[in-house]
A = this chain, B = another copy of it.
Amino acid sequence: MSITREKIIELGEDLIRTKGYNAFSYQDISSELGIKNAAIHYYFPSKENLGTSIVKTNIQRFEEMAENMKSRGFDEWHQLETFIKIYTKSHREQKRCIVGSLGPDINSLSENTVAELRRISELILKWLTATLTSGREKGLFAFNEEPQIKALLILSSLVASLQLARLIDKIEYKSFCNAILEDLRM
């Protein structure tokens, strides 16, 4: 795999998560990487193409993380904790998550990109639902809602909190994330 290609994907993701999809251009990437505009088109013929590839990369990354936690034998509490760390890291880096960044733009994104965005959203929600279900069965979590509803509550809290935290300074992000976990304690 090409290093340039990887750098484009990495920088493109950063730009989506800081500026937003419709606010970044191929120029932003090319000038940063010291290459020409057309070089990006060489790897990603269209912006839609790049957007889709970036979401696909995120899907792969999430799948690898979930796989990794499973194979290492993390219990459900530990898995959820690790998942939430993705968001505290994003918060530290002043970035939003890919779903929260692209979500508001679905009416101006291509079909392919939206399809991948749906895939990752469903994937995460499914994983979270499954984790909550088995965690509750094992007596690790306590909650009254349907697992799917609870998963959606947690996920949407995390997604939007990254946005709100950038708008309201006085938010203590760590205690916010802690509250999500503590709410599940037996």
The interface of chain A, by Cβ under 8 A from chain B, is 18-20, 22-23, 96, 99-101, 103-108, 117-118, 121-122, 125, 144-146, 149-150, 152-153, 155-161, 163-164, 166-168, 171, 175-176, 179-180, 182-183
Contact = CB atoms under 8 A, between A and B. Distances in A.
A19 B153 contact: no
B107 A18 contact: yes
Number of copies: 2
Contacts of A100: 104, 160, 163
Contact of A149 (B20, B99, B107, B179): B179
Contacts of A105: 19-20, 23
Nearest to A171: B152
A122 B169 CA distance: 10
Contacts of A146: 175, 179
A159 B179 CA distance: 18
A19 B106 CA distance: 7
Contacts of A166: 103, 106
A115 B44 CA distance: 36
Given A152-B176, A180-B153, A167 B121 contact: yes
Q: Which of A117, A145, A150, A152 has the most CB of B within 10 A?
A: A152
